Structure 1
Amino acid sequence: MPVNANDPRAKRTHDLLIRSFQELLEETNDVYAISVQDITKRASVNRATFYDHFDDKYAFLEQWMRFKFKQTLESELKDASILDMNGLHTLILAVYRFLDRFRRNFAPANGRFEPLFEAAMQKELFNLLIQWLSEVSDSEVAGEVLNATAICVSWSIFGSALQWSRQPENRSMESSARNVMIVIAASLAPVVE
């Protein structure tokens, strides 16, 4: 039977599993080396409880990355708005900084999880953008157009940050983010006028 995500006990257990994994990761810096058994042992729950909350380790890792990325965005974007160039710039830089830390802090053995983590981050960025666009767009803008805009903008920001993070020595973070902001601002104009 699936866990009710609204149940406070389920939420506490979910958060405990995430925290336990985070603690283990800080000790080992190797996602691959941390097993479900390690996580459940640290959290003092049984494996069945873990599988009540997550289908497998990959589903867990996706949730963990989405949580970490969302937490970062929320802390850096407290009062930011997509209507404000400063807010857009802050968003872009937050994504760049997160990917920069991600690349510097992960062991090479974790490379097999990169696509999973990247997809989780991009989904979270899309969710934020669709929320922002829904709040500020003209009510006559079709939902399909908002969705397409959020997809294009999230991939533009994330893709440019990902590309930059692979070779940060080629261009400064600030310079790259500023150029991306100019392009993104132009693509947002039809939706947020």
Structure 2
Amino acid sequence: MVNQEDPRVLRTRRLIRDAFREMLQHKGFDAMTIKDIAEKATINRATFYTHYEDKYALLEEIIEQAFHRMIPEQVENAGEFTDEICTELILMTHRYIVDFYQKCRMDSKSIATLVDEKIKRMLQEIIEVILVKADHSRTADLNQVKILAAMTGSAIYSAAYQWLWAKEKERTELLVDMVRPYVMKGLGLSQER
């Protein structure tokens, strides 16, 4: 087993991730091989396989790390699902999608599907944690919370993804104004204005 705290391991993993990101931009996911990644990272293939099962496992780790770095502290510490938290989740998801789709060559349906599903799952987990925290009386059925979190995460993700291709994609306040009331009403948290 590899010691994940060893500086050499950390350095090697960083080299692999950096090589992967560069290859993803220039060569694309489907055309990229483990040999390509290893050569670019100046390691051998056996070393790659010591750290990652395959390029899909590496992709998942990169998606997860990038997404978690983008989570605002306000969202991480949220004790309830408010308009502000909803806004932050919408904007964060939009930023992530824009960053990923514009910086990477998305010439592969398989990678797009994998990225989409991973982001939706992580968004759902964030929302689920917030909803559980907000239920101070602990009366919520966990299955209902999971379903609400899944629907909410899917709505936010789908809207943010569609906005990537919208005419006014730079005007994220329009995205928020459209999505937030829908999400808040769906959760039964809308405030009459």
Tell me which amino acid in the other structure corresponds to 1:145: Q
Equivalent position of 1:178 in the other structure: 177
Residue correspondence of structure 1 range 50-129 to structure 2 within 5 A: 50-72=48-70, 74=71, 77-80=72-75, 81=78, 82-107=80-105, 109-129=107-127
SS across alignment from 2:140: coil
- 1:107-163 Cα distance to aligned partner (Å, 9 max, x none): 353455211111121122122222222222231112111111111111111111122
Given that 1:25 and 1:31 are in contact with CA atoms closer than 8 Å, whether structure 2 keeps it comes out as: yes
For 1:25 and 1:119, locate their aligned partners in 2 and report how far apart those are by CA, in whole Å. 19
Identity %: 22
Q: 1:134 to 1:29 in 2, by over 3 A?
A: farther
Q: 1:11 to 1:153 in 2, by over 3 A?
A: farther
Given that 2:81 and 2:131 are in contact with CA atoms closer than 8 Å, whether structure 1 keeps it comes out as: no
Runs of 4+ aligned structure 1 residues displaced above 4 Å come to 23-26
Tell me the TM-score normalised to structure 1 length. Answer: 0.77
Q: 1:174 to 1:60 in 2, by over 3 A?
A: same
For 1:17 and 1:117, locate their aligned partners in 2 and report how far apart those are by CA, in whole Å. 19
Given that 1:29 and 1:106 are in contact with CA atoms closer than 8 Å, whether structure 2 keeps it comes out as: no
For 2:177 and 2:51, locate their aligned partners in 1 and report how far apart those are by CA, in whole Å. 40
For 2:160 and 2:168, locate their aligned partners in 1 and report how far apart those are by CA, in whole Å. 13
Equivalent position of 1:133 in the other structure: 131
When you count helix as a share of all residues, which structure comes out higher? 1
The CA RMSD measured in Å over matched residues stands at 2.7
Given that 1:32 and 1:110 are in contact with CA atoms closer than 8 Å, whether structure 2 keeps it comes out as: yes
Which sections of structure 1, spanning at least 5 residues, go unmatched? none
SS across alignment from 2:167: helix
Q: 1:189 to 1:16 in 2, by over 3 A?
A: farther
For 2:105 and 2:185, locate their aligned partners in 1 and report how far apart those are by CA, in whole Å. 38
Tell me which amino acid in the other structure corresponds to 1:65: I
Q: 1:150 to 1:23 in 2, by over 3 A?
A: same
For 2:175 and 2:38, locate their aligned partners in 1 and report how far apart those are by CA, in whole Å. 41
Q: 1:135 to 1:15 in 2, by over 3 A?
A: farther
- 1:70-117 Cα distance to aligned partner (Å, 9 max, x none): 222x2xx11233533112101101111221233322335345521111
The Cα shift of 1:29 comes to 6.7
For 1:162 and 1:70, locate their aligned partners in 2 and report how far apart those are by CA, in whole Å. 18
Number of residue pairs aligned between Structure 1 and Structure 2: 182
When structure 1 is superposed on structure 2, of 97-106 and 86-95 the one drifting more is 97-106
Which sections of structure 2, spanning at least 5 residues, go unmatched? none
Tell me which amino acid in the other structure corresponds to 1:35: T
